[in-house]
Amino acid sequence: MKTRVSILHHDYPSRYRNLVEERLAALERFHGHIVTMDARIEKNARSHHVELVANIGKGHVLVANVHREAFGEALGEAVDRMGRQLRKQHDKARLEPRRAHGGVA
């Protein structure tokens, strides 16, 4: 899995970038076929905005978008949301019967 952390319009300490990278790496346990995982972090006047974008191949893109006053809360909720989406997508792909090409749907 290739990860990228983008920090927009604000300087966060390097420990925040490391924390985000660790949390993104932990998401791989929910879905083994993640191609890329991007994190976009931005601080507005009163809140932190964390957006996670996962490309899981075959044109599937999942997004978790959170605004909170505290950075830790925003990151935690975004990671939880992305984890639920990845697990749901993984279970759906695993349990959905394979359809034959040209067969009746």
- Residue-averaged pLDDT of the chain: 86
pLDDT the model gives residue 14: 83
Mean pLDDT of 28-55: 91
Mean pLDDT of 76-99: 85
**Domains contained in the chain, CATH given:** 2-95 (3.30.160.100)
pTM score > 0.85 for this model?
Answer: no
Considering the chain, what percentage of its residues have pLDDT values greater than 90?
51
Q: Count CA atoms within 13 Å of residue 74 on its CB side.
A: 22
pLDDT the model gives residue 98: 61
At 40, the pLDDT band (50, 70, 90 cuts) reads very high
